[in-house]
Amino acid sequence: MTEPHHSASRERMTILGDVDAASFLPWIRRHAARLGLSQAVSHTSTGRIELELAGPTALIDMMEMGCSLGPIDVWVETIHRSPIDGETG
């Protein structure tokens, strides 16, 4: 029997909307940790959070879904994702 293929990737996720609640960044960190994703917040400003995520693509998909649905004190309008290819300057 063949093992399922779990392709790992690195992606930048940009979350736009009413995302300024103080609870959202800790929520993102906890959710990523539960999914086993490595993550780093690379930018925050009014209405925008940028994350760099690494892990299996399916789990990054789950992270996107989680961010789009909660927590209750934020309103996510849009999430953009783009791959981070071996950025070697």
In the prediction, which pLDDT does 70 show?
81
State pTM to two decimals.
0.84
The highest-level CATH class for domain 8-83 is alpha beta
What tokens does 12 get? 């930048």
In the prediction, which pLDDT does 71 show?
87
Note the pLDDT tens digit of each residue in 29-38: 999 999 999 9
In the prediction, which pLDDT does 38 show?
95
Q: Residue 49: which residues within 8 A CB-CB, separation 6 or more?
A: 14, 15, 19, 24, 25, 28, 41, 43
